[in-house]
């Protein structure tokens, strides 16, 4: 029987697109019908996670989504390993099976998620012999081909900027105002909103508004960008990178981001597509870990969010003195 994680991807692939609000409701209903015990907001995190894995394209401002086209792409600095992302209908699954019978070795890798979250689809990693044959092989399967989607996305990352000026909270909505606390990593009720910071509240139609205050100005933003605007204002760093210790692997490493500083959607997709796998979460270190990230790419991502990347020393190999 197909797992709920892959069933959900098949379903959204067949659906094709629609409103984010409708998708959230149907994802939540399906998860509960399968008896999953999930935390608040799990359906929204599922959409963000599946988008980061390259399967969904989401326009959060307009509230619409669409399935991404099925695409074969190489992983950065991973000779002989590629990734299939995007649409995964029954027909697409058959095309993958045909490729496996003819030329590819396909590894279906289960992604782990935090307790209380909705499982995300398995990743499809593809071993190949010749990179020169990949475009033709992708076309034969009915897929698009991109040489390296991850590295292309790093080049396209938008720089962090303040949003357009917006109206301050209306008197009737003051009781809903919350301010983001970087230490608590959450929004807390605000006794006042006279200081610079990241705020959210409910509008007259009960939709959620997120804005930053700078002096007397209110500026529209989205939560992830607002967090990094606050980190930049307070000059706090939340990003680190450690090179791999293997010979010839110094150009790539592990990228760490502290909890409470979620990457914006495009930034998250860029680092996730370096492996094609869901990132790892460390309860002990309270970080999110992304593997196989080139140093130049990590530096580009950090600069785009006004962060100073801290480069760590590589871990000592087993048996070597530290």
Say if 113 falls within a structural domain.
yes
Within a domain: 226: no
Residues sharing a CB contact under 8 Å with residue 168, sequence separation 6 or more, in sequence order: 193, 218
Task: Choose the final residue of a domain: 147, 182, 212.
Answer: 147
Q: Whole-angstrom Cα distance, residue 36 to residue 28?
A: 10
Domain CATH code at residue 57? 1.10.10.10
In this structure, is residue 162 part of a structural domain? Answer: no
- pLDDT tier at 79, thresholds 50, 70, 90: confident
Q: Taking 90 as the threshold, does the pLDDT of residue 40 lie above it?
A: yes
84 and 60 inside one domain:
no
- Are 90 and 57 part of one and the same domain? no
**Structure tokens that stand for 147 in this block:** 């040489």
Parallel, antiparallel, or unpaired: how do β-strands 178-181 and 186-189 relate? Answer: antiparallel
Give a yes or no: residue 320 inside a domain.
no
Q: Specify the number of domains making up the chain.
A: 4
Please work out, in degrees rounded to the nearest 5, the angle formed at the alpha carbon of residue 12 by the alpha carbons of 11 and 17: 145
The 10 Å CB-count burial string (b at 16+, else e) for 253-262 is bbbbbbebbb
To the question of pTM greater than 0.85 for the whole model, the response is yes
Quick one: average pLDDT of 93-99? Answer: 96
Out of 14, 46, 67, pick the residue that ends a domain. 67
Note whether residue 292 is domain-resident.
yes
Residue 280 lies in a domain: yes
CATH (domain of 245): 3.30.70
Same domain for 292 and 270:
yes
Residue 321 lies in a domain: no
Confidence (pLDDT) at 322 = 40
* Domain-embedded: residue 131: yes
How far, in Å, CA of 5 to CA of 26, rounded?
Answer: 14
Q: What is the pLDDT of residues 176-217, one digit of tens each?
A: 999 999 999 999 999 889 999 999 999 877 788 999 999 999
Domain that holds residue 206: 171-220
Q: Helices marked H in the chain — which ranges?
A: 4-15, 20-33, 42-52, 90-102, 134-141, 149-156, 223-234, 265-272, 295-304
């Amino acid at each position: 029987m197909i797992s709920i994680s892959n069933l959900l991807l098949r379903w959204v692939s067949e659906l094709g697109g629609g409103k984010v609000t409708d998708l959230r409701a149907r994802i939540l209903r399906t998860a509960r019908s399968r008896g999953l015990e999930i935390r608040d907001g799990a359906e929204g995190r599922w959409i963000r996670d599946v988008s980061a894995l390259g399967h969904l394209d989401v326009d959060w401002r307009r509230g619409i989504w669409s399935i991404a086209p099925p695409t074969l792409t190489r992983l950065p600095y991973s000779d002989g390993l590629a990734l299939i992302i995007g649409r995964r209908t029954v027909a697409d699954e058959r095309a993958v099976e045909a490729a496996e019978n003819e030329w590819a070795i396909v590894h279906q890798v289960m992604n782990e998620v935090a307790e209380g979250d909705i499982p995300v689809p398995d990743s499809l990693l593809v071993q190949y012999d010749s990179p020169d044959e990949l475009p033709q092989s992708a076309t034969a399967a009915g897929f698009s081909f991109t040489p390296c989607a991850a590295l292309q996305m790093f080049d396209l990352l938008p720089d962090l900027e303040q949003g357009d000026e917006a109206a301050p909270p209306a008197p009737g909505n003051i009781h809903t105002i919350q301010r983001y606390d970087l230490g608590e990593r959450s929004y807390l009720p605000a006794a006042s909103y006279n200081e610079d910071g990241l705020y959210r509240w409910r509008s007259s139609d009960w939709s959620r508004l997120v804005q930053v205050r700078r002096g007397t100005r209110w500026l529209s933003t989205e939560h992830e960008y607002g967090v990094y605007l606050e980190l930049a204002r307070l000059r706090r760093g939340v990003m680190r990178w450690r090179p791999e210790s293997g010979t010839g692997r110094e150009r790539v490493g592990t990228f760490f981001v502290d909890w409470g500083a979620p990457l914006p959607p495009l930034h998250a997709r860029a680092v996730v597509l370096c492996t094609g796998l869901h990132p790892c979460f460390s309860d002990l270190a309270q970080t999110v870990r992304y593997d196989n990230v080139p140093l130049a790419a990590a530096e580009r991502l950090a600069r785009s969010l006004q962060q100073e990347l801290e480069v760590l020393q590589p871990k000592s190999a087993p048996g070597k003195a530290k």
